[in-house]
Homo-oligomer: A and B are copies of this chain.
Amino acid sequence: MAFDFTSVISSRAAATANRWNGYPPYHFVGGNIDEQTIPVDELADAVDRVIRSEGHSMGKYGLENGPLGYLPLRQFIVENLKSRASMDVSAEDVLVTTGSLQALDLVNELLLESGDAVVLEAANYGGTLTRLERLNVEAIGVELDDGGMRMDHLRQVMADLDRQGRKAKFIYTIPTIQNPTATILSRDRRLEMLDIARQFDVPIFEDDCYADLIWSGERPEAIQALDTDNRVLYCGSFSKTVAPALRVGYLVAPWAVMQHVLPLKTDAGSGALEQMVLAEYLPQKFDDHVDGLVRMLKLKADAMVEALNENFGATAEFSQPVGGIYIWVTLPEHVDTRDLAVAAAAEGIAINPGPEWTVYGEQNRHRMRLCFGHPSIEVIREGVAKLADVCHQQYGVPLRSGNVERV
């Protein structure tokens, strides 16, 4: 008789996955990117060179460079953060991680205990929200406007906590191409956030994973770069700029913090081949590659905006994207995107319902995130039109598609 594992599974493991059935044809979720922009030949050339010259070093966990990761990659990260984000750090401040998600996990494990509070943009990356929930940490949302996190509201939230005799463990922010709102926090607001953090004596965790994907190419100075008191932990990624399936991200932290992070990274090192190929590829190619990638993403964003306008008209409200891979769409209040997502899935369309991407889910039941990085322009056009059909069937809106009134 088969052993009954349900009798021994921990309370943390109650959730179940479904069998994998492939991607739906209209796949508007996930931080995936355009497949044609993956520089396969250049990556192949890079890996060929680096594996033949340095491949023997893979006989050791952590290669020759210790627990922080492959040194040439860390050196590139340092130079890249200098030129693009005005950050002045050294290779000793950089830990290569298995995707930036590992950086999130490490910082959470470093700082958070059950019952703690984290203050963050009220609409936020779903993976951050589920992580905080799993750790039994309260996520306290700060309102956003077109300029990103509102500093007046942040100050109020911090003051409210203070009046309760509480303090946030840290402020978590995605200041540049915020997920899901795609907003960019201005320099003034960044300085004000640092001022607020100083006033209330809390650190900031800056998640900058999307910062290279700005149409104008004008990436703002990182909050970390404006910080004068070593208050900011910072993470980034190559998932959005080279390939998500290459699991390479990084954490930037002063040694006083890093020395506590390293013992928590019990994975015997991040994947060496992926670090080596990026270190070989990026120094020569990164800037040109990102320029091409961003041009392609802008075409896709334009296609999605056009498709939304054509098929949803005034029913869908959103800001014109200035970068990134997603659009945060507000539908009429009577639409519940959790139900819409179920109906859309039946038609082969995947969307992120607003409640999964926000701290205060119920208030955002009529919002959704649509990702445009991976699908082709044709798929974007078809999928948004089909989504409008599904929405009309379920909620009677939109009333028109283009010039055609729906019946």
Contact = CB atoms under 8 A, between A and B. Distances in A.
Interface of A: 1-3, 5-6, 8-20, 22-23, 30-38, 40-41, 43-44, 47-48, 51-52, 55-68, 92, 98-99, 101-102, 105, 109-113, 127, 130-131, 169-170, 201-203, 229-231, 239, 243-247, 254-264, 266-274, 277, 374
Closest 4 CB pairs of A and B: A20-B66, A40-B55, A245-B272, A17-B262
Given A101-B268, A268-B99, A56 B44 contact: no
Contacts of A256: 2, 5-6
A268 B101 CA distance: 8
B268 A247 contact: yes
A247 to B, nearest CB: 4
A44 B34 contact: no
Contact of A51 (B40, B98, B259): B40
Nearest to A92: B19
Contacts of A55: 38, 40, 43-44, 243
A3 B270 contact: no
A20 B65 contact: yes
A267 B43 contact: no
A98 B271 contact: yes
Contacts of A15: 260, 263
B111 A9 contact: yes
A7 to B, nearest CB: 8
Contacts of A246: 58, 271-273
Contacts of A10: 109-113
Contacts of A9: 110-111, 257, 260
Given A38-B56, A98-B267, A111 B3 contact: no
Contacts of A36: 56
